[in-house]
Amino acid sequence: MSRPVSVGVVGCGYWGPNLVRNLRAVENCSVRAMCDLNTLRLEHLRGLYPEIETTTDYDHVLNGMNVDAVVVATPVKQHFALAKAALAAGKHTFIEKPMAASAEQCEELIDIAERNGLVLMVGHTFLYSAPISKIRAIIQAGDIGDLRYINCRRLNLGLFQKDINVAWDLAPHDISIILDIIGEFPETVNCQGNAHVTPGIEDVTNMSLSFRNNRFATIQSSWLEPRKIREMTIVGTRRMIIYDDLQTHEKIRVYDVRVERPPHYDTFADFQYSYHYGDSYIPYLQQEEPLKALSQHFVDCIRSGAKPRTSGENGLDLVRILEAASASLTSKGAPVTVASGKHSRKISRIETHHATPRVVHG
């Protein structure tokens, strides 16, 4: 493809405008349309980007504007219908996280994309960030020893969602990072939580992912905290990493601390833990807005035909874990076994004649 990749963005509420801004900065990309049902929101964005056409008609974006790709940044309940329509119309498709409201929906989108030879990418933004890339490199180099566990806290006051609970809203960031760092799928998922504000929609959850070799990760998510916290602790046998995403310059600190058991002892009185305290250091990070790197990757994959780093399969893996967490919530925290990430259900045919779904304010 020699000409710029033309893109339409559907959903211009909270996150869509950030995608528009970053896609405009990507080389060989042209944002042609912004679509939303909220006309006041479109009027505001038209003032910022007068060269981009605005519309409330999603069918016009798919069939009347000659776009190559569609970016879906609406509420989760709209992801499947909008993405399916885009893929059926032959458009490369980017979907914000979580990919869809169920694993079954994710599998269908993957099948349509594969059959039509289209790029399907999911917005696991943090995997394109410099801190996570550095953490991944530190772990792969063996600097922290064997990974023992990961603890995540993603807390703030609001933003309350109406169609998904706090685990579906906030935990996808942490789950995507955990899967990327550990490099395997969890065996079981536990989740507990409570709905304090909106009946039936948990605003506080604690999730645990159990992996092979006694490794596990915990994720605390909340819309009911007075302080905004975005923190992850990664504990190894030799060193530990603290990742604080709210820090401006010192987002990662590596601590040379560990606890060691004595190799031999005859009685309990002889047993002594050994605590090692060494130096800490702050790795240098070449900072770039993750959303810009993600946007560039999407366009590059369209132009080259390469599979995205955060593909539909990655989105499916994450949604399977969220579904297991929901099942555990209804079972008061009982462990739920979760299947591996390869999708198996095949679609017998692709429907090319479809009704274009309505767009809701994103």
Q: Tens of pLDDT along 239-290?
A: 999 999 999 889 999 998 767 666 665 555 555 566 667 678 899 898 889 9
Q: Which CATH architecture has domain 127-281?
A: 2-Layer Sandwich (3.30)
**Helix residue ranges, H only, 146-289:** 166-182
Q: In a 3-state reduction of DSSP, which class is residue 19?
A: helix
Strands (E), 291-338: 336-337
Helix (H/G/I), strand (E/B), else coil: 93:
strand
Is residue 170 exposed (0-12), middle (13-18) or buried (19+ Cβ within 10 Å)?
buried
Handedness of CA 296, 301, 303, 304 (dihedral sign): positive
Q: Is 162 helix (H, G, I), strand (E, B) or coil?
A: coil
At 227, list the tokens.
């302080």
**What pLDDT score does 274 carry?**
67
Integer Cα distance of 326 and 221 in angstroms: 14
Q: Using an 8 Å Cβ cutoff, are 67 and 8 in contact?
A: yes
Name the 3-class secondary structure at 101. coil
Q: Fold match between 5-125+290-310 and 127-281? A: no
What does each of the 362 residues of the chain score in pLDDT, given as a tens digit?
A: 678 999 999 999 989 999 999 999 999 999 999 999 999 999 999 999 999 999 999 999 999 999 999 999 999 999 999 999 999 999 999 999 999 999 999 999 999 999 999 999 999 999 999 999 999 999 999 999 999 999 999 999 988 888 899 999 999 999 999 999 999 999 999 999 999 999 999 999 999 999 999 999 999 999 999 999 999 999 999 999 999 999 988 999 999 876 766 666 555 555 556 666 767 889 989 888 999 999 999 999 999 999 999 999 999 999 999 999 999 999 999 999 987 655 433 322 233 333 445 554 45
**CATH top-level class of 5-125+290-310:** alpha beta
End-to-end CA, the chain: 31
Three-point CA angle 227, 233, 235, nearest 5° = 160
pLDDT of residue 347: 26
Return the amino acid letter for 42.
L
Report the relative pairing of strands 274-281 and 336-337 from DSSP bridges: unpaired
- One-character DSSP codes across 47-82: HH-TTSEEES-HHHHHHHS--SEEEE-S-HHHHHHH
pLDDT, position 39:
96
The distance from CA 348 to its chain's CA centroid, rounded to whole angstroms, is 29
How confident is the model at residue 249, as a pLDDT?
87
**Neighbouring-strand partners of residue 285:** none
What is the pTM (predicted TM-score) of this model? 0.89
Cα radius of gyration (the chain): 22
Give the pLDDT score at 273: 66
Q: What is the pLDDT of residue 1?
A: 65
Domain ranges within the chain, ordered by starting residue:
5-125+290-310, 127-281
For residues 315 and 113, is the Cβ–Cβ distance under 8 A?
no
166-182 helix and 130-140 helix, angle to the nearest 10 degrees: 40
Instruction: Dig out the tokens for 101 from the structure.
Output: 């409201």
Dihedral angle at the C-alpha atoms of 220, 222, 227, 229, nearest 10 degrees? 40
